[in-house]
Structure 1
Amino acid sequence: MPDLAEAAGIPLRTLRYYRERGLIPPPRREGRIAWYDDRHLARLRTIAALLERGHTLQGIADLSAAFDGGRGVDEVLGGLVAPTEETPVRLTPEELADYFEGEVTPENLAAALDLGYLATDGEEIVHISRRLLDVSAALVREGVPLSAVLTAGHRVREHAESLADLFLEFVSAHGTDPEKLRPLAKSVVEAELSMALDRRLRP
């Protein structure tokens, strides 16, 4: 347990408190020896990130109990996550570390949670989008720090929300079904972004 507390950067008494509150799963036991692993470290880092975002320990405990009880992310959130065309990806902590070798820090984890890119589900981590996961990993492989990728993600999110509002205002003004025209909106954004990049990259 002292090694786990040190790896997570928390006092041993805090780790004991989390264990007593059920915030982390019980260790594997061999006789009188308790074994903690990367699952526990990932959970502790998630707890730290949620605390930084203003969540209470009681709220985190409720989420942990729901996850450990086998309820999925959508069920725990009460269906508050809107349907999406994106494909979520389930990862172990080790698999996430493989995607972003050396970049999975508590700060980056907190930023990814804040963006809504990541959630925990029992022993697994759920990334909201296969495409965003692959693009983020590709940028990191090209030498872009993950912290910079996540900062850019915040800015992209803001612009995407504005574009979505513009599209909905436009179709609502003409009494058109937004779901029916959704593919057209995506095509317009892709074409405009492509042309904007051409203008900036053209010699």
Structure 2
Amino acid sequence: MAEGREYRMEELAERAGITVRTLRFYRERGLLPPPRRAGRIAWYGEQHLARLRTITALLERGHTLNGIADLAKAFESGRDVGAALGLTEPTEETPVRLTPEELADHFEGEVTPENLASALALGYLAVDGGELVHISRRLLDVSAALVRQGVPLAAVLDAGQRVRAHADALADLFLEVVREHPVAGGAQALRPLAKSVVDAELSMALDRRLRPGGEMPEGDPATEGPPASDHSRS
């Protein structure tokens, strides 16, 4: 297909593998953006064809039309990539481009409008044209693995939000050290050292809790970490 090609309704329906009646129904339900009109002729573009294929793929994965409509609204309200992810800034993370149906495959049955809105608000996801962009391949893979293990995606996103707060506090701590005690190379030179410290401390904290007899009773304040941060009790 040539880039930027436009289709009349009948041709669009044929290419999407649906009937004209179904196409009209989707348009009436607000599942498609309005076509470009030239006089009495409605012209549809590649974004319409991509949306129709996405609708078909999501229906095959068990989503309802109402659910797809809600997903489309959340999708269209998402921030663009630059605003949400700050990809113009240096980062060690690898963003991942996903179609809506690919996202549904990663989190089977868990891609609800509420979860999508939470991921967009958290900045894990952003919108780029007809695609979604996940901020980090590592976070995407870990989140999907947790969901496959039976952890609800809503719980994964909630945990991610709380981890974000602690990670921001740790980053501020290390940057404060650099400001008070300048090192060659500045903050970027400290980056791998700070990550090593956090990784080692987290590993030892898990060891303390997972070794035989090391688990604390549920609700014990000792399981909540140091009282300095309100986030640790949220």
Give the partner amino acid of 2:142.
V
2:191 maps to 182
Compared CA separation, residues 147 and 48, structure 1 to 2 (3 A):
same
- Tell me, in whole angstroms, the C-alpha distance in 2 between the residues paired with 1:172 and 1:191: 23
Are 1:100 and 2:107 an aligned pair?
A: yes
1:27 maps to 48
Query: What is the SS of the residue equivalent to 1:175?
Result: coil
TM-score (norm 2): 0.62
- 1:117 touches 1:129 (CA, 8 Å); kept in 2? yes
| Structural RMSD (CA) | 3.2
Q: Of 31, 37, 53, which aligns to 1:37?
A: 53
The structure with the largest helix share of the pair is: 1
Q: Of 83, 93, 97, which aligns to 2:90?
A: 83
Give the partner amino acid of 1:45.
L
- Tell me, in whole angstroms, the C-alpha distance in 2 between the residues paired with 1:79 and 1:172: 26
1:79, distance to aligned residue in structure 2 (A): 8.9
Are 1:162 and 2:136 an aligned pair?
A: no
1:91, distance to aligned residue in structure 2 (A): 1.3
Measured against aligned partners, the alpha-carbon deviations of 1:6-53 in whole angstroms (never above 9, x if no partner) come to xxxxx83xx2895279xx97534xxxxxx83316987962533665xx
Higher Cα radius of gyration? 2
1:141-160, aligned counterparts within 5 Å?
141-160=148-167
Compared CA separation, residues 36 and 201, structure 1 to 2 (3 A):
same
Runs of 5+ consecutive residues of structure 1 not aligned to the other structure: 6-10, 29-34, 64-72
Q: Of 47, 52, 70, which aligns to 2:73?
A: 47
Deviates more, 1:35-44 or 1:170-179: 35-44
Give the partner amino acid of 1:184.
L
TM-score (norm 1): 0.70
Compared CA separation, residues 78 and 118, structure 1 to 2 (3 A):
closer
2:203 maps to 194
- Tell me, in whole angstroms, the C-alpha distance in 2 between the residues paired with 1:142 and 1:175: 44
Aligned length: 168
Runs of 5+ consecutive residues of structure 2 not aligned to the other structure: 1-22, 37-44, 59-67, 213-234
- Tell me, in whole angstroms, the C-alpha distance in 2 between the residues paired with 1:140 and 1:127: 16
Q: Which has the higher contact order (CA 8 A, sep 6+)?
A: 1
Are 1:110 and 2:117 an aligned pair?
A: yes
